[in-house]
Amino acid sequence: MKVIIVSHNFNPGHFSHLHANYKLVTDSGLTAGFYWNDKFDKLLKDDEKKKVLKLNVTGISKNDIYVVWFPSLKALAEMVYLRLISKGQIIYVLHEPFDSIKSYLDSGFSVLKTLKILAVSFINYLMVKCSHKIILPSSKAFTAFKSRYNFLGPSIKIPLMFDDEAASILPISKRKFISYIGTIAEDHAFDKYIEFILYALSKGLYPEYRFLIATRSVLDGEIADQLEKFVNEKKVIIVSGNSMSNSEINSYFGQSVVVWNVYRRSMQSGVLPKSYMFGTPVIISDKNRSEYFVNTITGEEVIGIYDMKDIVRSIDLILDNFPRYSKNCRKAFLQHFYYKSFSDKFMFFLNENNSKDK
C-alpha cells in the first residue's frame, strides 16, 4: 500500500501541509509520494529532492490511498476516474465547506467573487461525493460540513498539519515587524490592516517596529499610493506580487512581534498555526475565533467593528507581555498542529474500514 498526496494548484502556503502529511505517513512506515504541481519541487530541501517519490493516478492500485488536499478540476477528474475503475481509497481534506452566500457578502466579497466562490463550492461538493472519507480542519468546518453535505462515509476533525520548521524562536529584541502575511482577501480584512497602519503612523505609534505586508497578491494601486511615502521612509515594508519561498515566509513569521489574523470570517487559517510555530502571537476578530485560539494566552481578540484603539490596546498588551504569549504560542503549536501530535489519529482514520463518523 502506498499513499499519494495530491495538490495540483501551486500555492507556497500549502507546501507545509503537504510536506507534513508526507512525513507523517513515512514516519508511520508506509510508502508515500507526491502528485503535485511541479513548482512545489523547488520548495523541497536539496537532500529531499532525490529521495521523494513522484507518483500519479495511473499507477494506483486497489489498496493505495489517494489524499487530495485542495479543490481543482484536475483532481475531480482523477477522483471520478478512480471511482470508475474501483481502485484506491480517496480521502479529501476539505478546508472550507460552503457556508452561505450571505456570509461571503457580509465579509466584503462582491457579487461576482461570491459567485466564483459558489462555483468552487460546487466543485468541492462533487469532490466530496467522489470521496470515501473526509477530513475537516476545525470544529466550525466540521459543523458546516455536517449541516450542508449529504455524505455517508466517515469524516473526522484533524487540524491543519505542519512539521516544526522553526530552527529557533527569536526574543522580542530581535523582532522588527507588525505583520500581515498571506493572501489579500476581503474576508481577511486587509483594508482594515491598511487603515490600522495609517492610524498608527499618524499617531507615531511603534517607532521601533516596521509594518510588513508579505503576500503573493498584487497590491491595489490606490493602496500602494497611500503607503508610498512610508515605504520610502522604510516604515512600511511591502513584499508582494510574487510567490515567496517557504523559508522566506518562515523568516517573516519569525521576525514578527504580532501577526494580523483579524479576519471577518474563517473556518481555518494557515496563518494562525504558522505564527504559533514561531512563537508569534496573533490578534484575531471575534468573527473568526476558533478552538485553537485562547484570548490573552496566545494573542488578543478584538471586536469585529475594527476600532483602531481596540487594536492598539491588543498589540500593546502583547508587546508588554511578549515572552508569555510567545511561550504559549509554541505550546499551542506543538499541541494542536505539529503532525506528530495526532499521527496515530490520522493513521487510524486512514486504515479504518467502517463508515461511522468520528
Instruction: Please write the tens of the pLDDT for every residue from 323-355.
Output: 999 999 999 999 999 999 999 999 999 988 743
| Torsion 318-322-326-327 (CA) sign | negative
pLDDT, tens digit (0-9, with 9 covering 90-100), for 172-190: 999 999 999 998 988 899 9
* Helix, coil or strand: residue 355: coil
Average pLDDT score over the chain: 92
**Is the pLDDT at 358 greater than 50, yes or no?**
no
212-244 per-position pLDDT tens digit: 999 999 998 899 999 999 999 999 999 998 888
Tell me the domains of the chain and their CATH numbers: 2-162+339-351 (3.40.50.2000), 172-336 (3.40.50.2000)
pLDDT at 258 over 90: yes
Whether the CB-CB separation of 43 and 245 falls below 8 Å is answered with yes
For residue 45, the model assigns a pLDDT of: 85
pLDDT at residue 357 above 50? Answer: no
Task: Give 94-132 as a 3 state SS string.
Answer: CCCCCCCHHHHHHCCCCHHHHHHHHHHHHHHHHHHHHCC
Query: The C-alpha cell of 227 is what?
Result: 503607503
CA R_g for the chain: 21
Q: 35, 5 in Cβ contact below 8 A?
A: yes
The average pLDDT across 275-292 equals 94
Integer angstrom CA distances of residue 358 from 21, 142, 265, 342:
20, 11, 26, 14
Residue 145, Cα to own-chain centre: how many angstroms? 18
In the chain the first and final C-alpha atoms are separated, in Å, by 24
Question: Which pairs from 290-298 meet CB under 8 Å and 24+ separation?
Answer: 290/138, 290/139, 290/140, 290/266, 291/138, 291/139, 292/138, 292/159, 292/332, 292/336, 292/337, 294/328, 294/332, 297/325, 297/328, 297/332, 298/325, 298/328, 298/329, 298/332
Chain segment 87-107, per-residue pLDDT in tens = 999 999 999 888 888 888 887
14's CB contacts (< 8 A; 6+ apart) are 7, 69, 70, 270
Closest CA to 257 of 285, 283, 295, 229: 283
Would you place residue 113 in the very low, low, confident or very high pLDDT band (cuts 50, 70, 90)?
Answer: confident
Q: Which contacts (CB < 8 Å, 24+ apart) does range 327-332 have? A: 327/279, 328/294, 328/297, 328/298, 329/275, 329/276, 329/278, 329/279, 329/280, 329/281, 329/282, 329/298, 329/299, 330/166, 330/169, 330/276, 330/277, 330/279, 332/276, 332/292, 332/294, 332/297, 332/298
In one-letter notation, the amino acid at residue 261 is: N
Give 303 or 67, the one with higher predicted confidence: 67
Give the per-residue pLDDT at 246.
87
| Amino acid sitting at position 277 | M
Q: Which residues contact 101 (CB under 8 A, 6 or more apart)?
A: 114, 118
- CA–CA separation, 52 and 44 (whole Å): 9
C-alpha neighbours within 13 Å on the C-beta side of residue 287: 17
pLDDT the model gives residue 354: 43
Compute the distance between CA of residue 215 and CA of residue 12 in angstroms, rounded to an integer: 10
Report residue 202's pLDDT band, with 50, 70 and 90 as the boundaries: very high
Rounded Cα distance between 251 and 243, Å, is 14
> Cell numbers 508588554 correspond to what residue?
320
Which three three-digit cell numbers place residue 256?
Answer: 514578527
pLDDT band, very low/low/confident/very high, at 114 (cuts 50, 70, 90): confident
